[in-house]
Structure 1
């Protein structure tokens, strides 16, 4: 028993010093099941979060503006061949209205998400013109950071979104085990998806990468994913539990206990102490928020206003119409955990600081270096 405690303490000491953890150490952490051991990992995760972010938490508004998709992802409710659900496509005016509502509520970022809707993709660059204009209008009217989550868009489209003011690109691989990837995303190129994220980084985007847990991945797969995320230089890293969806090929696969997701969140924090790690409301709603914050998350995602006609992804309707996915319901939970909503200026400073580290040679980001140094002084 003494050797076991020593091993865990040694690993956590390394994490606290921000020395890279070895593969065997990460596997050891992911294999923990004793509640006291897991609590120690969570505690260290929160200490590292506090080092970089103090008690500040960021909030993301979620605008899932089209549920049409050309793909056949086996885990997704909105796969092309699922005809058992009502789909929708929001107009530019509706997107703008929801965006303004979310900004007014106090979110730090707008996540504009859709399936790979054929009405955009069938005409490649020209098909995205109206959406690019909507992003430009949102930026002009609000100046809020915008995340683009529209699938594997053509590179020219990503350049147009960047010119319109988009700040983030999210495109989740879900796993970095190639065989498992093709079981989850049949007919979709693994390499093209990865390369698009790399291209987005070169364009000046901040990039989010994400995993799905409970789909047959092993601990070895998870460590591989952490290594790929590190190599990618992801600025935000996400994990969500698989939720079986009706009328999909994976509908009979049970969802794992949340202990798995929570431990992965905590290990992510040890590996990426200064990155953003979401606590999504899309899995367990408001009731699952506190435990994800306790595990080391520092972003609350999937905030959706009621009466907006929008849905979630994993849990399509959970907590939306009763108003539990709103800022007003989130803030009391933050307070219970000794946490607070960051100011919008703090979020912008973090983003500028992050860009200064990633692109120190780009002339248009020279002023970010000063912001980064100021941020370091203020937060350490």
Structure 2
């Protein structure tokens, strides 16, 4: 494919220019802030080689203690609504909550935000249990190379993931996948990724760059080069002009944001929201979006938005804790 050849020939800037044109033509000028809400810090499989959860089993004697309080989850959803953030998806390791519990949580979030949620809860055969509270289903493909996938994510069969997504489509749900760059893939593996997006009629792709975690085999592995990351996103945008693309970056790589937006990102994710809100790091995100010529949906700096909510009864103490996390910082200096 021509876009893969350009990436391999270090013609990334050419890809970015074309991708930016296509994004502005096929999408709004708006960049969303996306928040993955975690349900639990436990996974009964726990063998994805890059994931910190693969280091948790020896340390957690009772998996139920790793489950979040439901009121805390709902309070986080309410704060996202107030700040204008999207809930990217609900995410949790295998075995953390039952299908009926996840459905109930999703329904309560739907009532709060008035928006159905996406799920990223692993491979499940229970999709028929969900209804209007769910917008779409995310498959954690992770590595755009089948052989590497089997080695790095041995308990998450690609066949099972793709079968789940096909069922999701038959049931009327949107479909998404997640991809982590820096796990050993090469530009040639984009051909597999593009075929997957096309064959499954994927609506959204979330890209991440490797975040090396202590005690994993990637602990000393550097994160992928910024222009490689941007080039992969740009190549994907060029191949799929109408695809929704969300890009994750880390607090130590905020300078990636501008190039990723110019490469075709519609949304940004993977931020420690309550640690960054109202700090110079949050303001940096807003500046990156501004200097990319885009309009930001949501805020990292508007303290007044925290008060924009009704009385939610038993959720109020949990909401207050999150607000306190945001307020107990030095005000931003313009």
TM bracket, shorter-chain basis: 0.7 to 0.9
Query: For 1:283-294, what aligned pairs fall within 5 Å after superposition?
Result: 284=252, 286-294=254-262
Matched residue SS, 1:172: strand
Q: Helix, strand or coil: the match of 1:247?
A: coil
TM (normalized to structure 2)?
A: 0.79
Equivalences, count: 294
8 Å Cα contact 2:85-2:297 kept in structure 1 = no
Asked whether the 8 Å contact 1:110–1:144 carries over to 2, the reply is no
Q: Measure, in 2, the Cα distance between the counterparts of 1:54 and 1:226.
A: 23
**1:56 pairs with one of 21, 24, 30:** 30
* Maintained 8 Å contact 2:90/2:120: yes
Deviations 1:353-379 (A, max 9, x none): xxxxxxxxxxxxxxxxxxxxxxxxxxx
Partner of 1:38: 12
Relative to the length of structure 1, the TM-score reads 0.70
Using the TM superposition, give the Cα deviation of residue 180 of structure 1 relative to its aligned residue in structure 2, in angstroms.
0.9
The answer on whether the counterparts of 2:116 and 2:132 sit within 8 Å (CA) in structure 1 is: no
Seen in structure 2, the aligned counterparts of structure 1 residues 293 and 83 have a Cα distance that, compared at 3 Å, is farther
| Structure-2 residue corresponding to 1:247 | 215
3-state SS in 2 of match to 1:48: helix
Matched residue of 1:237: which SS? Answer: strand
Alignment of 1:89 with 2:57, yes or no, is no
Q: Hey, what does 1:29 align to over in structure 2? A: 6
- Specify the alignment match of 1:103 in structure 2: 81
Residue 231 of structure 1 pairs with residue 199 of structure 2 = yes
Residues 84 and 26 (structure 1), Cα distance of their counterparts in 2 relative to 1, 3 Å cut:
farther
RMSD: 2.6
- Cα 1:330–1:144 change in 2 (3 A) is farther
Say which of 40, 43, 54 aligns to 1:69. 43
CA positional deviation for 1:324:
6.7
Residues 325, 31 of structure 1: alpha-carbon distance in 2 compared, 3 angstrom cutoff: same
1:178-217 equivalences under 5 Å are: 178-217=146-185
Shift of 1:214: 1.8
Task: Check conservation: 1:170, 1:208, Cα contact below 8 A.
Answer: yes
Conserved 8 A contact 1:26-1:223: no
Deviations 1:45-69 (A, max 9, x none): 1100000114122232221221101
- Does the CA contact (< 8 Å) of 2:67 and 2:96 recur in 1? no
Q: Summarize the alignment of residues 335-350 of structure 1 with structure 2, pairs less than 5 Å apart.
A: 335-341=290-296
Matched residue SS, 1:147: strand
Larger relative contact order (CA 8 Å, sep ≥ 6) = 2
Matched-pair contact (CA < 8 Å) for 2:209–2:249: no
Match of 2:105 in 1: 134
Match of 1:115 in 2: 93
